[in-house]
Amino acid sequence: METPPPLSSARLAIPIQLRALPHVADLVSSFLMPKTVDAAVYNDLHRVLEVYGDICPWTARAMKGAAARGRVDLLQWLRDNRTEGCSIEAFTSAAAYDHLDALQ
């Protein structure tokens, strides 16, 4: 898996004294990345998914979020391209939000 570009928000949040150390921004970014991708799924932030989708770790929460939002396209992509699998919470979320087509 290639290294994703650092999150610009991570760079901006780091104190100016530490910005001269690029590895600090990379470490902060790698810590935040899975949560960023999960949040992008929940909030339909397509640009974030386009930039980071192929090179970032996806969590089981991404599958749950896609199911809860009825995003069959994301569920299909995750199933075909990732190994995280589908959790029971994903099925429950899809059913709870009446996205029965996502369960198929």
Percent with pLDDT over 90 in the chain: 0
User: For residue 35, is it within any domain?
Assistant: yes
Is 39 contained in some domain? yes
| Total count of domains within the chain | 1
pLDDT reported for residue 78: 75
> How many contiguous H segments (helices) and E segments (strands) does the chain have?
7, 0
Q: Is residue 76 part of a domain?
A: yes
What tens digit of pLDDT does each residue of 15-44 get?
888 777 877 777 777 666 667 677 777 676
In a domain? residue 2: no
Q: Confirm whether 62 is domain-assigned.
A: yes
Domain carrying residue 33: 8-12+19-103
pTM for the model: 0.53
38-63 residues labelled b (16+ CB within 10 A) or e (exposed): bebbbeeeeebbeebbeebebbbbbb
